[in-house]
Structure 1
Amino acid sequence: MTKQTSLTCKCGQFTMQVEGPHIASVECLCNSCRKAGAVLNTLPGAAAVVDEKGATPFVMHRKDRVRILSGAEHLREYRLSAGAGTRRVIATCCNTPVFLELKGGHWLSLYGQLWTDGDRPRLEMRTMTGDLEQPANLPDDVPNLKQQSLSFYGRLFAAWVRMGFRSPKIVVNGELNV
């Protein structure tokens, strides 16, 4: 039987389900995740997106294995600039970050805060540590990659192959203007 995990926003008005294994569990330290995290942290009632290391935790899942069950009307997208190819999607009912999506991507990077600490898949790697001024200060509990590695891209490609080279659309109605 395929494992299914139910995830909700902080207030419970938005719910989703992910099926099967994740692609990767990562912490991203890129400049744009840190900048967007700082903006999202200013939303009323929002939980911290970026941790004390400057990292944003994500659990990456295939889009075809993510289902929105309720509360889609609360979803809004936030982009760092009008032409940005990356959008971060927030449940505005309680300002919970839900996922990050790259334009044309076949996966979603689900914000790690959707899981309780005990249920979130174990951290496998940190990416984009090269964007930090002091990457040497990071713990050495997992690989600290300056950029994404070949094996990282290999995981994404393997998932895309299993999806038949499809990239399902995730519709979000509206923008979050911060």
Structure 2
Amino acid sequence: MADDILISTCQCGKVQCQGIGRPMISGVCYCDDCQAGADMVEALDGAAQVRDDDGGSHYLTYRDDRFSCTKGADLLRAYKNRPDAPTDRMVASCCNTAMFLKFSKGHWTSAYARRFEGDAPSVEMRTQMQFRDSDLPLPDDAPNYQTFGVRLFWRLFTSRIAMIFG
């Protein structure tokens, strides 16, 4: 999958993004920020669902140099949970489809897995389980972390090194 390109598209097809190669991580987040952000963007008129049935948001996280908007970038609008939030949830204004979120202090972009065509890579981890509020059975297909977990930080660190050295 090193040179594969995964395409994500909004509901109406006017906005398209791409991730090049394997994402740094395919993970589900249950943090309070992701839940509040999902509440906000899912409440938009005609918005697509971003969360899984158990309340988690499945992201494919890419290095910034491997993720881009290839069509309709002018239609993307940034939404913040609160004025000082470090993340912008980028929504296709044409059809109110949440496409990705950008952490302003980081070198990565987390795209909503639901927006990708075909099969998204399997979930590798679930994070911030302390905020999960669901009675649905927890899948046992990946490790679950009460916080963000060392594995996630290791991936972010090594991806930054890879970006620096090309």
Q: Tell me whether the two structures share a fold, i.e. TM-score over 0.5.
A: yes
Deviation at 1:139, TM superposition (A): 2.6
Deviation at 1:13, TM superposition (A): 0.5
Deviation at 1:141, TM superposition (A): 2.4
Relative distance call for 1:94 and 1:152 in structure 2 (3 A) is same
Q: TM (normalized to structure 2)?
A: 0.91
1:6 corresponds to:
7
Deviation at 1:2, TM superposition (A): 1.6
Does structure 1 conserve the Cα–Cα contact (< 8 Å) formed by 2:10 and 2:92? yes
2:139 corresponds to:
139
2:44 corresponds to:
43
CA distance in 1, matches of 2:165, 2:84: 25
- The 5-angstrom pairing of residues 69-88 of structure 1 reads 69-88=70-89
Relative distance call for 1:33 and 1:17 in structure 2 (3 A) is same
* Matching residue's letter, 1:93: C
* Matching residue's letter, 1:20: G
CA distance in 2, matches of 1:162, 1:73: 30
Unaligned runs of 5+ in 2: none
CA distance in 1, matches of 2:135, 2:145: 10
Does structure 1 conserve the Cα–Cα contact (< 8 Å) formed by 2:128 and 2:148? yes
Deviation at 1:67, TM superposition (A): 2.3
Does structure 1 conserve the Cα–Cα contact (< 8 Å) formed by 2:29 and 2:128? yes
* Matching residue's letter, 1:130: Q
Unaligned runs of 5+ in 1: 167-178
Deviations 1:6-27 (A, max 9, x none): 2211111011222111100011
Matched, 1:120 2:123: no
Deviation at 1:43, TM superposition (A): 1.1
Deviations 1:70-93 (A, max 9, x none): 101110111011111111111111
CA distance in 1, matches of 2:26, 2:90: 18
Does structure 2 conserve the Cα–Cα contact (< 8 Å) formed by 1:38 and 1:50? no
Relative distance call for 1:162 and 1:112 in structure 2 (3 A) is same
1:59 corresponds to:
60
2:25 corresponds to:
24
CA distance in 1, matches of 2:65, 2:135: 35
**Superposition RMSD on alpha carbons, in Å?**
2.0
Q: TM (normalized to structure 1)?
A: 0.85
CA distance in 2, matches of 1:59, 1:142: 15
Matched, 1:111 2:115: no
